[in-house]
Chains A and B, each alone.
Chain A
Amino acid sequence: MAKHETPLLDQLETGPWPSFVTDIKREAESRAKNENNVDFQIPADVCEDLLGVLELSFKHGRTHWKHGGIVGVFGYGGGVIGRYCDQPEAFPSVAHFHTVRVAQPAGKYYTADYLKKICDLWERRGSGITNMHGSTGDIIFIGTTTPQLEEIFYELTHNLNQDLGGSGSNLRTPADCIGASRCEYACYDTQALCHDLTVEYQDELHRPAFPYKFKFKFDGCPNCCVASIARSDLSFIGTWKDDIRIDQEAVKAYIGGELKPNGGAHAGRDWGAFDIQKEVVGLCPTGCMRYEDGKLEVNTPECTRCMHCINVMPRALRIGNDRGCSIFAGAKAPILDGAQMGTLIVPFMKVEAPYEEIKEKVIEPIWDWWMEEGKNRERLGELMKRQGLQKLLEMTGLDPDPRMVQEPRSNPYIFWKEDEVEGGWERDVNEYRKHHQR
């Protein structure tokens, strides 16, 4: 018999999809039975009270979690988010219900043993409920009490070789795609870069000193599996400079039907014979391809690396050999302004350890500018909008490039600075009058 009646939550379980309500009920049941004799450090019925307070919130149409809450561990300013319930008498087991962010491994590779260990830790010192993974990418532990925080931090860092992630106005836990470890599209080693920058910027990650949050994300290719272009203040997307490598024999095999398009992903239904003209050449956004006389050609200067042709015919088309990344700045979700996608600020940069060019020419000058000029809770993308791309280029020393411009400007005014104009503002009137009458 459940501790609280939850008729509204029960409805959420009736849909066709797996329900978090079912998951929490299972955890509640498991904690009540406690077959493994876990020495629970927070109340055993925490999941019951969690369901109870959520049911009440549904009934009232408003949340019963308080706003804010500031808790943490010594030495760090981020990593733990304070949560308190505003009905502690009715739901004492969730009076404190803090969230802990734990840094996920690059590419989210785990061993089963590791997963068991972190779950055991959380069963004992928390609610047992996790979120694998949060939107930023961290492992999220949901629900514990203040006295447990230092204990959890100690166990994570000493026994599990693990660290807290970012929260608050700091560098959030960097996230990447699986990259070169399992994907032939990877134009650079995303895991290596993600790990290197995570280690390099530990201080920025754990001790909030920024105007607001800041996210790095790493995509090995323009397929953008971690959606870095939409979700990160600095997005590193793999690309290449030379030609797409074409295996004409394999192209013929796709046309002949020996190879299945998209790696056989559309096999569930008969879509008819593969039509390269319609399905590949005709869908090229820049029209840079043609298929004539049994030969597929790509006009590289027109190619925008949209990945469509490579995705359809991965055995026939491969990424080029001269690889690196493009860097985009300023993507964010809507809070102040609307949602923004990243703006291209570096068309191409080599990605080679120890990544000094990326750190010294891009990341650090941008941080210096944003920390100096950014208002409280102003994301990089908002500062870029407020002060302009021109300012960003000036502060970073990056050269302006037509590829940074999405569309021709509608406003014809350009404000030159004196040092950008030959001879400055000084003019010799007499010299001018030689060629121009009054």
Chain B
Amino acid sequence: MPTVESNGKAFEVDEDGFIDDYTNWSEEWVQLVKKEEGIDELNDEHQKVIKVLREYYEKNGIAPMVRVLSKVTGFKLKHIYELFPSGPGKGACKMAGLPKPTGCV
């Protein structure tokens, strides 16, 4: 597995750049990957989405369906794409440190 580094902190990632283990997530991780997901500066709305994703995952062991994410955050899908241009599955889940969503075919 390749390793990426930020401020002396190392993260193991898979080929899509997802973190190897949910528990290794930290604020540095978010700062590290935001650029490759097309985000310049993080605002409160980004943080809210990430927080909701992490809380849902901790409780349920799975990422929420997009509709649920939209409902809980109160953000329409279009707005989620404005926040995370690479989408909720790729961008937001990656930044929240969730495992890679599977079976998108």
Q: Which residues of A contact B (CB under 8 A)?
A: 67-78, 81-82, 84, 96, 167-169, 203, 207-209, 211, 371, 376-377
- Please give me the residue from chain B that is nearest to A208 by CB atom: B66
Complex: A125 Cα to B20 Cα, angstroms: 30
Per-residue interface assignment for chain B, residues 36 to 52, with 1 indicating a CB less than 8 Å from any chain A CB and 0 otherwise: 00100000000000000
- What is the interface of chain B mostly: helix, strand, loop, or mixed? loop
Contacts of A81 in B (CB 8 A): 104-105
* B40 CB to nearest A CB, Å: 13
- Beta-carbon contact of B78 and A203 below 8 Å: yes
Contacts of B67 in A (CB 8 A): 209, 211, 371
Stretch of B3-11, B25-33, B83-91 at the chain-chain interface: B83-91
Is there contact, CB below 8 Å, between A68 and B70? Answer: no
B100 within 8 A of A: yes
Asked if B102 lies at the interface with its beta carbon under 8 angstroms from chain A, I say: yes
Q: Are B87 and A207 in contact (CB under 8 A)?
A: yes
- Given that A203-B78, A209-B66, A211-B65 are known contacts, is A70 also in contact with B104, CB under 8 Å in the complex? yes
Q: Are B15 and A84 in contact (CB under 8 A)?
A: yes
- Flag if A72 contacts B100 (CB, 8 Å): no
B16: chain A residues at CB < 8 Å are 69-71, 82
Known: A70-B104, A77-B87, A77-B90. 4 other contacts (CB 8 A): A96-B15, A167-B104, A208-B87, A377-B103
A-B contact pairs, 11 of them (CB 8 A): A70-B104, A72-B86, A72-B87, A73-B86, A96-B15, A168-B89, A168-B105, A207-B87, A208-B87, A209-B67, A211-B67
Cross-chain contact B90 with A71 (CB below 8 angstroms): yes
Q: In whole angstroms, what is the CA distance A169 to B66 when docked?
A: 10
A75 to B85: give the CA distance in the assembly, Å: 5
Is B78's CB under 8 angstroms from A68's CB? Answer: no
Chain A residues in 8 Å Cβ range of B65: 211, 376
For chain B, the count of residues having a C-beta within 8 Å of the partner chain is: 23
Expressed in whole angstroms, the minimum distance between the Cβ of B67 and any Cβ of chain A is: 6
Q: Is B100 within 8 A of A68, CB to CB?
A: yes
Chain B residues with Cβ below 8 Å from A77 are 81, 87-90
A85 to chain B, nearest CB (A): 10
Instruction: Please tell me if B74 contacts chain A, counting CB pairs below 8 Å.
Output: no
Asked whether, in the complex, the Cβ of A67 is within 8 Å of the Cβ of B104, the reply is: no
A83 to chain B, nearest CB (A): 9
Write out the residue numbers on chain B whose beta carbons fall within 8 Å of the beta carbon of A75: 81, 85
Give Cα A74 to B89, complex, Å: 12
Using CB atoms, name the residue of chain A closest to B66: A209
**CB-CB nearest 7 A-B residue pairs:** A77-B87, A74-B85, A168-B104, A68-B102, A209-B66, A74-B38, A209-B77
B104 neighbours in A (Cβ, 8 Å): 68, 70, 78, 81-82, 167-169, 208
**Bound Cα distance from A77 to B101, whole angstroms:** 12
Interfacial chain A residues near B90, Cβ < 8 Å:
70-72, 77
In the assembled complex, the CB of A372 is this many whole angstroms from the nearest CB of chain B, namely 8
Residue of chain B at shortest CB distance from A83: B105
Residues of B within 8 A of A376 (CB): 65
CA distance A366 to B99 in the complex (A): 31
Rounded to whole angstroms, the CA-CA distance of A224 and B102 in the bound complex is 33
Cα A75 to Cα B77 in complex, Å, equals 11
Expressed in whole angstroms, the minimum distance between the Cβ of B27 and any Cβ of chain A is 23
Contacts of A67 in B (CB 8 A): 102-103
**A203 and B86 form a contact (CB under 8 A):** no
A3 to B100, CA, bound (A): 34
Nearest A residue to B38, CB-CB:
A74
| Cβ–Cβ contact B78 & A76, under 8 A | no
In the complex the two chains form, what is the Cα distance from A77 to B105 in whole Å?
Answer: 12
Chain B residues near A377 (CB, 8 Å)?
A: 103
Question: Which residue of the partner chain A has the closest CB to B16?
Answer: A70
Q: Are B77 and A203 in contact (CB under 8 A)?
A: yes
Q: How many Å lie between the Cα of A76 and that of B85 in the bound state?
A: 8
Chain A residues near B15: list those with CB within 8 A.
69, 84, 96
- Measured between alpha carbons, how far is A169 from B68 in the docked complex, in Å? 14
Contacting residue for A74 out of B77, B86, B103, B105, CB 8 A: B86
B101–A70 contact, CB under 8 A?
Answer: yes
Alpha-carbon distance between A81 and B88 when the two chains are bound, in angstroms: 16
| In contact, A207 and B81 (Cβ under 8 angstroms) | yes
Instruction: Name which of A67, A167, A209 has the most chain B CB atoms within 10 A of its CB.
Output: A209
Which residues on B sit within 8 Å (CB–CB) of A68? 100-104
Residue of A82, A96, A203 with highest tally of chain B CB at under 10 A: A82
A167 lies within 8 A of B105 (CB): yes
Chain A residues, CB < 8 A from B86 = 72-74
Decide yes or no: A208 and B89 within 8 Å by CB, A70-B100, A70-B101 being known contacts. yes
Tell me which residues across on chain B come within 8 A of A167, comparing CB atoms. Answer: 104-105
Q: Give the distance in Å from the alpha carbon of A82 to the alpha carbon of B18 in the complex.
A: 13
Q: In whole angstroms, what is the CA distance A360 to B78 when docked?
A: 21
Which B-chain residue is minimally distant from A213 (CB atoms)? B105
